[in-house]
Structure formats: structure tokens, C-alpha cells
Amino acid sequence: MQKIRIVDATLREGNQAPAVRFSVEQACHIATLLEAVGVDMIECGHALAGEEERRRIRALRGLGLATPLLSHARAQRADIDAAADSGAQWVGIFCGINRVSRLTRLGGRPAASVMEMVRRSVAYAKSRGLGVRYTVEDASRTPDELVIRVLRAAIDEGADRICYADTLGAMTPSVFGAKVAALRAALPGVDLEVHIHDDRGFAMANAWAALEAGANWISTSVNGIGERCGITDLALLLANLDLEGYQPLRQPQALQHLSAFVAAATRSAPDHRRPVVGQNAFTHTARLHTQAMQRSPLSYAVFDAQRCGRAVQLAPPPTPRTIDRLVVSPQVISATELKYHRAGPGSRYVMVDNRFVDDARQYCIVRDIPPQHTPAAAH
Ligand code: HCA
Ligand code: CU
């Protein structure tokens, strides 16, 4: 099985998520944990963007990590100079070539002129001694023939790695897999990365389709954070690679810490349902499930909790509690998060957010539940 390499872009793509701005100290802590879990490259922001970004990159370089740093840049000399001067060993040059990119970001240049920009910038970055990744931004909405031509041009000029970006998360897995397979066939031997947004919820599925089709680098972020709906999630990808026998998880306990730290640093509520790292990911509640889990730890689990640095939690089935009349406040929770159970003739209890609510009156506005809204017990 080929080794799948990961470039984690939490400090670049993640730093572009709404209301996110990592401090130098936070960035350094995240980078140290990223190295601990074994990512192969750490992507930082645009060195040209300002002193704050340059300070972040300098501090990351000062950590002396073994993992190389990549600074992001447009296909312009000034950006590449800033990346080279920042101390990053690599530059990630991104430049789209489809009509939308040319009209909205490149002053209406014709494709031939963009091709020339890419050639010149890759050659210049090589002359500055940088490792070079070239990304076709919005590749998934670019004619395949044009994608291959511009990538070939970048490789001719010495690009060390090429990247196909599904910038809008527009693709479905089977289509994405076919695109990557065609790219792999047209450009054999070259390091091929994919960067996938999650707007349609396919960021993980498309990453998987891509690696099965021959991509050998995947771009990720912690908790999947990034522009809009974010990108492929690091912890889930690592756990899937472990499960499928590609490569074992390294320091898996650090994954949960990384996820919690990034959630706190981005002022996001912890996502209890997040696979692998979420609080509920290895918690079993229904009596049937907890009993089976006691007999065999994989009876209701696809990932081995221990391999993921987690422990199986068996939550005792809630003790039925009689509550007369309930309706959930729409401000607190939505009706779909409610499960009603019949605990005996005429009695009901309620679970909110997957937890048994001790005093439902704290959470709920008390009103009558019409009998047709209390479905028969599911368990
Ligand atoms: C961006 C766009 C980008 C670039 C990806 C890359 C995308 O935010 O600048 O350079 O590999 O999704 O196309 O994130
Ligand atoms: Cu992106």
C-alpha cells in the first residue's frame, strides 16, 4: 500500500475560517501537536499578508520541528520572496486558470498568460531554493485538459508537488475518483495532492476516493476547519488510514487534545458527535449495545477505541423518570433532538442532546404533549 502523506492546513485554511485568528502561541502549540500525530507538512498562511503572519511563521520555524513548513503564495514574485524570507522551506503557489478565476482574480488575462505566470512563479520559487507545491485553484470547475496542461507546465519548471483543489467542495466521490485517476495516468510518478472543501459534506469521502485513485498527499485541518464549511478532517482521515492498513496512528491521544485545543482557540462549542475525537464517539447507551460491548469491544464499534487513544464509555441506561407534560423550548433544542420513551403506562421521560435530563423543567417549557407526538418506545 502506498504511503499517504498529509499536509495539515489548520494554520492557513483553518485560520481563514470565520472569526478565527490563531495567536503565535496557539499556532506553536498546534504545530507541536501536529508533529506529534505525524503529519508530513505544516501549511502556514501568506507571508506577504502582513507582519502578524510573518511573526507566526518565524515562531513556528523557531520551534525547530522536523516537519517542514509551507507558506502560501499567489503566483507572484513578491509573494514568493516573502515566503522565502519567512523561513518556510516550502511555498504553496495557488493560481486558478478557469474562466471564473481569470475574470475575478486575474484581471481577465487569457489562459495562455496565466500559464506563463505559473511557469515563471514556479521557476522563480525554485531559484529561491524552496520546495514548490503548485495548486490549481477551483480545479474541479476547470476543463480537465486545461488542468493537465497547467500542471504539466508547473512540473516542467520544477514543481515538487502538484495539488488539485476542489475549492467549492463541488464534486461527488465517484466523479472525483475518476478525475484523480485520469490525472494520475496523465502525470505518472509526480506527488499528487488533493485539497477538498466540505460544502456538500463530501470532503472525507472525496479524499478517500482520491487516495484510492492514486493521490498520495491529502490536505487536512483539525476539526476540518476552513473557509465556509471547511475541508477534510485530520483525525478522521488518520483513523481511517489506520483502520484500512495504510499506516498506523501515532500518538493518538494527542488527536483529542488537538481537537479540543483548536475548538477552544476558535471559540467553538465542542462537537460531541465528531468521529474519533468527539466526546460521544465511543459512548454506548442503549442496554442492548452496552451489554454487547461488554461481551465484545467491537460489537458496536468500527474503530478500536484504544487504538484511537480513547476509552469505551458505557453510559448506564437512564432510569425512567416521570414527567407529566413537556414541550421543548425552540430556543434550547430542536424537536429532533428529543427522544420520548414510555417507561410504563402513562409515564414519560426525555433525553436532550443524547443525555438523560435530570430536571427537564430546567431545559423545557412545560406544556402538554399531545399523545400523537409521543411515539412508541424505540428501544
Ligand atoms: C484559498 C483557496 C484554496 C487554496 C488551496 C491550495 C482552495 O483559500 O486561497 O493552495 O492548495 O481551496 O483552492 O484554499
Ligand atoms: Cu481551500
Q: What is the pLDDT of residue 1?
A: 84
Q: What is the pLDDT of residue 287?
A: 86
Looking at residue 96, its amino acid is G
Of residues 235, 220, 160, 170, the one with CA closest to residue 200 = 170
Determine the atom of ligand 1 nearest the C-alpha atom of 231.
Answer: 12
Which residues lie below 8 Å from residue 241, measured CB to CB, with a gap of 6+?
4, 247
Query: Given ligand 1 and candidates 6, 195, 199, which is best to mutate, with the most ligand atoms within 8 Å of its CB?
Result: 195
Percentage above 70 pLDDT, the chain: 83
Q: Is the CB of 137 under 6 A from ligand 1?
A: yes
ipTM of the complex: 0.99
Does residue 249 line the site of ligand 1, with CB under 6 A?
no
Within 13 Å and on the Cβ side, how many CA atoms surround 221? 28
Cβ of residue 227 lying under 6 Å from some atom of ligand 1: yes
Q: Which of 18-27, 106-115, 259-268, 318-327 bottoms out in mean pLDDT, i.e. has the lowest?
A: 318-327
Euclidean distance between CA atoms 15 and 152, whole angstroms: 30
Q: What percent of the chain has pLDDT over 90?
A: 78
Instruction: Give the number of other Cβ atoms within 10 Å of residue 128's Cβ.
Output: 14
Q: Cα separation of 110 and 125, whole Å?
A: 23
> Band of the pLDDT at 317, cuts 50, 70, 90?
low
Smallest CA-to-CA distance from 115 within 127, 97, 99, 130 is with 97
CA distance 207 to 197: 10
Average pLDDT rounded to a whole number, residues 241-248: 97
Cα of 116 from ligand 2 centre, angstroms: 23
> What confidence score (pLDDT) does residue 19 get?
86
Starting from the CA of residue 92, give the closest ligand: 1
Q: How far is the CA of 167 from the centre of ligand 1 (A)?
A: 6
277-298 pLDDT per residue, tens: 999 999 998 889 999 999 998 8
Q: Is the CB of 135 under 6 A from ligand 1?
A: yes
pLDDT digits (tens, 9 = 90+) for 131-163: 999 999 999 999 999 999 999 999 999 999 999
27 Cα–ligand 1 center, Å: 19
Ligand 1 contact via 163 beta carbon (within 6 Å): yes
Determine the pLDDT at residue 348. 38
Residue type, 356: F
Residue 217's pLDDT band, with cuts at 50, 70 and 90, is very high
Number of neighbouring beta carbons within 10 Å of residue 241 = 20
Tens-digit pLDDT profile for residues 12-58: 999 999 889 999 999 999 999 999 999 999 999 999 999 999 999 99
Of 72, 195, 289, 341, catalytic: 289
Count other Cβ atoms within 10 Å, centred on residue 39. 23
- Over range 73-99, report the average pLDDT: 97
Tens digit of each residue's pLDDT (9 = 90 or more) over 160-212: 999 999 999 999 999 999 999 999 999 999 999 999 999 999 999 999 999 99
- In the residue annotation, 289 being an active-site residue is answered as yes
Determine whether the shortest distance from the Cβ of 94 to ligand 1 is under 6 A: yes
pLDDT for the residue numbered 371: 43
Among the atoms of ligand 1, which is closest to the Cα of residue 92? 10
Overall average pLDDT of the 63-71 stretch: 98
For residues 161 and 379, which has the higher predicted lDDT (pLDDT)?
161
231 alpha carbon – ligand 2 mean position (Å): 7
Q: Quick one: pLDDT at residue 338?
A: 42
Q: Is the CB of 142 under 6 A from ligand 1?
A: no
Which of 79, 90, 167 best tests ligand 1's pocket when mutated (most atoms within 8 Å of CB)?
167
CA nearest ligand 1 atom 9, residue:
94
The ligand minimizing its distance to the Cα of 135 is 1
The residues placing their C-beta within 5 Å of ligand 2, an ion, are 13
13 lines ligand 1 (CB under 6 A): yes
Please report the atom of ligand 1 found closest to the CA of residue 94: 10
What is the chain's mean pLDDT, rounded? 87
Residue predicted with more confidence, 190 or 105: 190
Q: What is the chain's length?
A: 379
Tell me, what's the pLDDT at 318?
52
Q: 264: CA distance to ligand 1 center in Å?
A: 24
